[in-house]
Structure 1
Amino acid sequence: MFDEETITRRTVLKTTGGSLLAVGAGGLAGASPDEEVRVNVGFDSGRGRSAALDAADEVVREFTFDAATLRLPKRAATALAERDSVRYVERDGTARALSTTWGYDRIDADVANINGYTGAGADVAVIDTGLPCDDPCLPNVGSGKAFVDCSSDCCAPWDDDNGHGTQVAGVIGADESCSCTTGIAPDATLHAVKVLNDYGAGSYSDIAAGVEYVARQGWDVGNLSLGGSSGSSVLKDAVEYATNNGVLLVGAAGGSGPCTSCVGYPAAYPEVVAVSATNRNDELASFSSRGPEIELAAPGSDITTVGSGGCATLSGTSYATAHASGVAALVMAQGYTNSGARTRLQNTAEDLGLPSDEQGSGLVDAAAAVGLNSSDD
């Protein structure tokens, strides 16, 4: 049976030929003794088959080879596993098609997702131009709030009349059925906090109000794929307030590169995780801002995501930030506090050998962050 702690991308691709992720069978440790579980049972004799079928509350499927899929209490599954005539008992898992987005694969989000880490239970606020009401790639949009007016023909006050918020949200949490991409945290709930207008611009006070709102809702992650070259006292107050109230804020370093000490605000504030952008060669993207405030790096060049009415391939620290926010959602879904998740992201990042003002602690690593072995070896 597969061990969740040892599945790596190489194992997955070797098993499937690179076309479909292998089933992450998972263990039974998290289930209570009387909880009904769905398991695959392999046996090597008729006695083993009879024992398995007799123990089942429901026989889901019998294979022509020596195995069956059953529903039964965990207690019964554990007893079956101890029989000499039973080769294995594994909890049934889920397979997902591989994403075509290189950034998703590069940070081992595929490994995290196939092992069941999908961000379920986490709330991510997309503090941006809004989110669509009914995009099939984003069925996990929750509530919303608008701090700027939406242009005409909006489905809700927080509708995305620009497209940038939708693009960012696709990287964070697009559904696995989306033809454009799979989000890092496809089961996280995304909330629209519209602080930018249809031109993609917004005042610092509107952004501050949006950040304050996120804190008052008690949401886990606030994605800030926006910024300016100068600071603001009210925005500084807002990010301090949100951080003190449990929100992990993740911000875009900015696109002023090549440059030195040019990280924009609010990412430059110590309360915000500042994210730089890398390319397919694990180099700092030429457009990415850099500076001592950089905390993490993430893929941000030629990223395929959800566009207005289709798919779009885009570059920017906005999309690098979205990768980091998606991983933050995976971590906080496990019960980490905002400060604990921030430390976890730092400690599990992959060192790319870049200067610290370009990569911070390194490239964000989804599989390592949730406790999986993400090595390709």
Structure 2
Amino acid sequence: MKNKREEQHIINELLASRLAIIIWGSLVYVSVIVLQFYREPLILSSLGFTGLFVVHGWLHWNSYRFTNKYFWYYFSAQGALIYLCSILMPDGYQAVLIGLLPVLIAQSLGFSYNILRVSFVFLISIILFFDSALTLGTMEDLILFLPIFVLMLIIVLAYAILFFQQVHERLRIQSFLRDLKEAHNKVEELTLSNERQRMARDLHDTLAQGVAGLIMRLEAADAYMVQGQTSRVHEIIKQSMVQARITLAEARFAIDNLRAKSSSEINFKEAIQNEVQHFKDATGIIVFIHLTLKKRLSRTLMEHSQHIVKECLTNIAKHAKADKVWVSLSDQHGKLLMEVRDNGIGFNTDALGTKVGHYGLLGIQERIRLIGGEMKIHSDSEGTSIKVETALIEGD
């Protein structure tokens, strides 16, 4: 019911349909008045005809207000008005019947898709035509005007069918646009949600972890200070200074990343090189970097890959006690391959996630899961190697 009312509203809101009703009704009215006054002027009948015609036009204009519930009332009233108009203008009835009945039948097509209802309106209109024609005219008049009526009926029905097809197409397009708008709003909501999650991960991976590490080191330094182990305190302070520089560099990077590089502006190689340079500036560790990337990556893959490399370097600075690091990224056979290796002291991979200091690797695992990749870790007394393999998702 709601869709039908909406459709009728759209039909009447269309400028073409309103103009067609006004122009056609005006032509019929003028034709009837001219024919009647040409043969026999009837002032009172003309006034009555004018009043009935205005009511008829008003009903046409506001037809969308009459839902299927009032179908029979509407078309009964319109049929009665047309019949009375023809009776009041005996010398212009032909114009009334030929001009208004085909429009009434055509309107029933748009008002109801029930074939029985349309057939009934058609049948009643034909009866009105023959009754009025035989009441006001002769059989010769009927034979003369019947072909004109049939021709007019065919033309109006053809126009109505094409018109309502256009209306249905417009309704379908508007429905698609509404669905598209809802989908767009949903995507915006999901995008905002994902952006908040990304910002939370960035802040956790930079400030939260960095500051937590500094607090732990300073607490340890305080404990050693109480015990009088100044050499150990000095060592922890040096490590804390390195950690503070790394945290500062990561915080600056996170802020720059949130500031605004669109996907078209992100240069992945440059971002990795900057990450390595920040690491070298903060730690003084030698880094060998090898990048062989031929294809442009999607923004999501670039961001997660960059954070994976950054977290690997951060873990090396915190725990590895290495003096050399190797960073390698390449795309081969539809895969993105990443490897970060050092010559540090290594760690026990079986204890991953159970000891303090391994939460960075858990963050790496979470990012790898988000991009559908796999991670392999090898660590011994000669160093640690982290290899990541994920599907290559190309960007625009």
User: Higher strand proportion, which one?
Assistant: 1
What range describes the TM-score normalised by the shorter chain of this pair? under 0.3
Q: Which has the larger radius of gyration?
A: 2
Which of structures 1 and 2 has the larger relative contact order (alpha carbons within 8 angstroms, sep 6+)? 1
